[in-house]
Amino acid sequence: MMLESLVAIMAMIAATLLDPGVYFAINSSLASLGGVTDQAVATISGWGFPVTGAQMQSLAHAVGEQTLFARTGGAPSLAVGMASILSHVFGARLLAIWYHFAIMFEAVFILTTLDAGTRVGRFMLQDALGHLWPPLARTSWYPSVILSSGLVVAAWGYFLYVGVIDPYGGINILWPLFGIANQMLAGIALAIATAILVKTGRARYAWVTGLPLAWLAIVTSAAAFEKLFSANPKIGFLAGAADLASKLAAGALPPDKAAVASQLIFNQRLDAALAAFFLCVLWVVILDMLRIAWRVARGAPVPAAPESPYQRTRFVEVAHA
C-alpha cells in the first residue's frame, strides 16, 4: 500500500505538469469527444483548454507512439509526465526512453500485484473448498492447485475481458471496480491485523492498525454508497444503468449508442453488484474483528490464534552483538 501511495503521488505530480488540453486528450475516450481526432481537439479546446492535432502528433512522435489520443487508464499520462521530468534532467533526446521506462515500470507493478492477488485468491478458494472435500484444502496437492488457480484466473480474466470490450474504452468500466476492491482489500487486511494484535495480548498496540482501518472503512464505505445509490447517472452505477435503460426504451439514444446500450447497462449493473459484495465482505470482517475484541475485553474465550509465535533468530543476536 505504501508503494501504491507513492505511485499515486507520482501520477498526480506528472498530471500537473501536462498541459490541461494534452491531459484531457490522453484521458478522454474518442467516443465521448465526438469520435474523431479533429472533433476531439475542437471539443477540448471548447472547454477552455486549447490543444491542437499537430501538438498531439508531435508529442506522440517524440515518445515513440503512433497516437496519444484516448489512451485512457492513467498509465500513458503518468508516463508522459514522468518522461517530461526526467528528460529535462537528462536531455530531451531521451524522452522516448523515459516514456517506455515508465510504461514498463507501471506494467511490472500491476503484474506483481496481480500475481500476489491470484495466489492469495487461490489459497482462500482452496480453504473454502476444503469444507466441501478436505483434500481440496491441501495447498501441495496439484489437482487442487490447478483447479483453484484456473477458477481464480478465469474470474479476473472475465472482468478484464468485460473492461476491454467496453464501448467507452478499455478501462472505463473496470477502473472504478479496481479502485473499490483495492482499498477494501486494504481494510480487510488491517481488520485481520487488528484482530491478531488483540488475540495475542497486544491490544495496547491495536491503534496502529485500528486508526487507518477506521479511516479506510469510512472513506471506502461512503464512496461505495455513492457509487451504488447516487442519483447522478455519471456517478452511480445503478443510476447510470437506469438512465441508459430509460433512454433506450424511449428511443432517445443515437443509433451508435443504442447498439451498445445493453452492454453498457450490463457492465454498470455488474459493477454495482460487485461493489455491494465487496462492501458486505469488508463489514463482515470488521464486525467479526469487533466481536473478537469485545470477547477478549470481557475475558470470554475466543478461538485460538493459529499464527506462529515470535521467535528470536540469530540475525537479532548478531544485530545486538
* Final residue belonging to a domain, choices 102, 133, 165: 102
DSSP structure class, residue 74: S
How far is 12 from 228, CA to CA, in rounded Å? Answer: 26
Q: Around Cβ 160, how many Cβ atoms within 10 Å?
A: 13
Residue 272: give the domain boundaries: 117-298
Same domain flag for 167 and 274: yes
Residue 311 lies in a domain: no
- Percent of the chain scored above 90 by pLDDT? 21
Question: Does residue 81 lie within any of the structural domains?
Answer: yes
The total domain count for the chain is 2
Which one of 42, 69, 102 terminates a domain? 102
- Looking at residue 208, its amino acid is V
Residue 48 covered by a domain: yes
Residue-wise pLDDT tens digits, 71-88:
776 778 888 888 888 887
Whether 307 maps to a domain, the answer reads no
Is the pLDDT at 170 greater than 70, yes or no?
Answer: no
Per the domain annotation, does 306 fall within a domain?
A: no
pLDDT digits (tens, 9 = 90+) for 180-233: 777 888 888 899 899 989 988 888 999 999 999 999 899 989 989 999 999 998
pTM, rounded to two decimals: 0.67
- Residues 125 and 248 grouped into a single domain: yes
Task: Name the band, by pLDDT with cuts 50, 70 and 90, for residue 251.
Answer: confident
The C-alpha cell of 194 is what? 487488528
Cα–Cα nearest to 272, from 217, 219, 235, 243: 235
SS3 assignment for 201-242: CCHHHHHHHHHHHHHHHHHHHHHHHHHHHCCCCCCCHHHHHH
Considering the domain architecture, whether residues 51 and 163 belong to the same structural domain is answered as no
